[in-house]
Amino acid sequence: MRIHILGICGTFMGGIAQIARQMGFEVTGSDANVYPPMSTQLEQQGIEIIQGYDPKQLEPAPDLVVVGNAMKRGNPCVEHMLTRRLPYTSGPGWLEEYVLKKSFVLGVAGTHGKTTTATMLAWVLEQAGMNPSFLIGGVPECFDVSARVTGGRYFVIEADEYDCAFFDKRSKFVHYHPNVQILNNLEYDHADIFSSVEDIQRQFHHLVRIIPSEGWVISAAGDENLEKALAMGCWSNLEREDGENGVFNARLLEADGSAFEVLREGAKVAEVRWKGVGRHNVHNALMVMAAAEKIGIKPEDAAKALGSFVMPKRRLELVGQARGVKVYDDFAHHPTAIRTTLDGLRASVGTQARIIAVLEPRSNTMKMGVHRDLIGPALAGADRAFVYAPDSISWDAGVIARTASVPVAVEEDFEKLVRDVTSEAKAGDSILIMSNGGFNGIHRRLLKELGADAGSSDQ
């Protein structure tokens, strides 16, 4: 069977391609921009990738077209597919039909931390000898690929609330039918498809509705938005973690979260010493340990696995350093993520070191200005901040500077931004780049301007 994937280079659709290829399907695909690291992973597995959307790629017709959610009406391949009545489905729909029906599914949902937590959970299962299949919407450092299918019983999936395709506007995760589901947190995001946080709560409710009665919901204690979603109905086992009345909690042994005791109902059951930093990652770890326990992995064994866990790329990743200045990269694209990432870095570098935050408001929600009044306060953990606001930002980004408690420069010109950040940085500083895109390669540009070889990382 040959499947052709439209929008193949995104992390999710690229993961679908890898799984299909591993299962023996003939796989081809196309994207508007063929780019690494996903293009490299796909090519290594012998998957042909076509640049652009010329309808000729659908001749002869594949047995099935798998349509990414970036595809819209008017796309030449989409119009050809509909006119010729070619069979088609969404990525989540394909995964449901061909893979997940046969699996014990462990899902990870939430506004923040999905990629990290899903990778962490897959790693704990891997170290327990369970040989899990997985699909992660990022680039894990502890696995060679972002998706795989092993033939084993368990499948770990990053359960995204974004929609499936132009013809299926439900959240992706309603196709996954999890047996154990982590609900990490819930805030308003994806303003391009959700008009309110209540809309997102309704989608989370739809997810909870399809979990079996003998299944488990692992929810963050004290999250009011999650509680409202759960109040709509929950018919499965429910356990809350990390907070008042939480089954699993933590006692920090190091302020930066790099070491902590694991408490189960108040009693110490394990101790974690790992490379993770930040209270938010301690939270992620507790959610993982609770979920892993439901399939027989003891907390002490999960803690041992976390000791060798490596964070995914772009999660407070040290890209390199030059002239005593460290440059970090993080995917933060929401005020809460900005704040927690800065808190984690601050706990790591201490109170005496300076942090220079550089933010690109690139997500659809950010570009729409939905969180404009929250971004400035979220930058409080930095000593100095720069915000890149080109013409694509339709709102007055100056509000960030006016609402921040630290000095903020709003820059429209990218080259000037690089010069100004470079001039500001001094030995001992940490520069934290925050964007959910490539940000014009600013990480390497800064290292080069600071005097390091752009290909080196003096870590």
Of 205 and 413, more confident: 205
Reduced to 3 states (helix: H, G, I; strand: E, B; else coil), residue 267 is strand
Pair 185, 113: CB distance under 8 Å = yes
Return the pLDDT at 354: 92
Query: 306, 341, 374: which is the final residue of a domain?
Result: 306
Q: Is the pLDDT of residue 454 over 50?
A: no
107 within domain boundaries? yes
Domain of residue 65, CATH code = 3.40.50.720
Same domain, 253 and 380: no
Domain of residue 301, CATH code = 3.40.1190.10
400 within domain boundaries? yes
Same domain, 50 and 108: no
Average pLDDT, the chain: 89
Pair 139, 187: CB distance under 8 Å = no
Q: What is the pLDDT of residues 11-66, one digit of tens each?
A: 899 999 999 999 999 999 999 877 666 777 788 888 889 999 999 999 999 999 99
Reduced to 3 states (helix: H, G, I; strand: E, B; else coil), residue 433 is strand
Pick from 105-109, 191-195, 297-301: least confident: 191-195
In angstroms, the CA 413 to CA 391 distance is 10
Same domain, 165 and 210: yes
Proportion of the chain above pLDDT 90, given as a percent: 53
Same domain, 436 and 330: yes
Same domain, 105 and 134: yes
Pair 129, 116: CB distance under 8 Å = no
Reduced to 3 states (helix: H, G, I; strand: E, B; else coil), residue 30 is strand
312 within domain boundaries? no
Measured in degrees and rounded to the nearest 5, phi and psi for residue 423 equal -65, -35
Return the pLDDT at 369: 64
64 within domain boundaries? yes
In angstroms, the CA 243 to CA 246 distance is 5
Query: 91, 117, 141: which is the final residue of a domain?
Result: 91
Same domain, 257 and 355: no
Beta bridge partners of 182: 108, 218
Q: Is the pLDDT of residue 122 over 70?
A: yes
Same domain, 108 and 209: yes
Same domain, 392 and 325: yes
Q: Mean pLDDT highest for which of 15-19, 112-116, 446-450?
A: 15-19
350 within domain boundaries? yes
Same domain, 279 and 331: no
455 within domain boundaries? no
| Nearest alpha-carbon partner for 88 in 7, 150, 10, 203 | 7
Same domain, 133 and 265: yes
Q: What is the pLDDT of residues 138-178, one digit of tens each?
A: 777 788 888 999 989 999 999 988 899 999 999 999 999 99
In angstroms, the CA 314 to CA 330 distance is 5
Domain of residue 388, CATH code = 3.90.190.20
Mean of pLDDT values over 282-295: 96
Same domain, 54 and 171: no
Helices 335-349 and 279-293: angle between axes, nearest 10 degrees? 100
Q: Which two tokens stand for residue 229?
A: 């979603």
Number of domains in the chain: 3
Return the pLDDT at 275: 87
Judging by DSSP bridges, how do beta strands 133-135 and 147-148 pair with one another? antiparallel
Place of tokens 């030995």: 427
Q: Is the pLDDT of residue 130 over 90?
A: yes
Return the pLDDT at 455: 41
Q: Is the pLDDT of residue 453 over 50?
A: no
Q: Mean pLDDT highest for which of 266-270, 274-278, 418-422?
A: 266-270
Distance of CA 254 to the CA centre of its chain: 26
Same domain, 326 and 252: no
In angstroms, the CA 390 to CA 446 distance is 19
Domain housing 423: 317-450
The sheet carrying 88-90 orders its strands as: 48-51, 26-31, 2-6, 64-67, 88-90
311 within domain boundaries? no
pTM greater than 0.75 (yes/no): yes
457 within domain boundaries? no
Query: 285, 306, 327: which is the final residue of a domain?
Result: 306
Return the pLDDT at 458: 41
